[in-house]
Homo-oligomer: A and B are copies of this chain.
Amino acid sequence: MATRPGTTMNTIDRLLSSELAGEIEFLTARTRSLGSARANMLLEPLDLKVRSYSVLSLACSGLAPTQRELAEFLSLDPSQIVPLVDQLEGRGLVERTADPNDRRSKVITGTKSGEQLYTKAREATAEGEAVAMAKLSKAEQETLRDLLSRIAFRD
């Protein structure tokens, strides 16, 4: 399928007719690439990245996750959680507490200043999300959230 001569088309519009452009795998990859780039920009003034923000968010959720749980939920290797928590703990934003029920595990919880920073960070990611979904109606946004949630957590 060739481009009609005479029409000026940018790269994206041209390749949009490819089979790849219709694949969910590709669409999610591109969406998350653009989204995390923007989120990282918005989080930079707070010295956070998407990764550290995600850990901080769960730490401040009141759900008292262990590092193992963070790794599973965030699709990361347990060994990747260690330096993330190290850094946040070093800044006084989260705390490691030995789980009294199972002293192998360490529960990660947000400190006061951790929660204060999280509040600001949450505003940043909310803004990023608003920008990303600007072209969707509120109803469509909720539909997208529901559909993605169901395929991200099937099982």
List the interface of chain A (C-beta within 8 A of B). Answer: 1-3, 11-12, 14-36, 39, 50, 54, 57-58, 61-65, 68-69, 72-75, 122, 125, 128-129, 132-136, 140-141, 143-145, 147-155
Contact A25 B73 (CB under 8 A): no
Which chain B positions have C-beta within 8 A of A147?
136, 140, 143-144, 147
Complex Cα distance, B62 from A29, in Å, reads: 23
Which chain B positions have C-beta within 8 A of A128?
25
The one of B34, B73, B74 in contact with A75, judged by C-beta atoms closer than 8 angstroms, is: B34
Contact B73 A27 (CB under 8 A): no
Complex Cα distance, B140 from A105, in Å, reads: 40
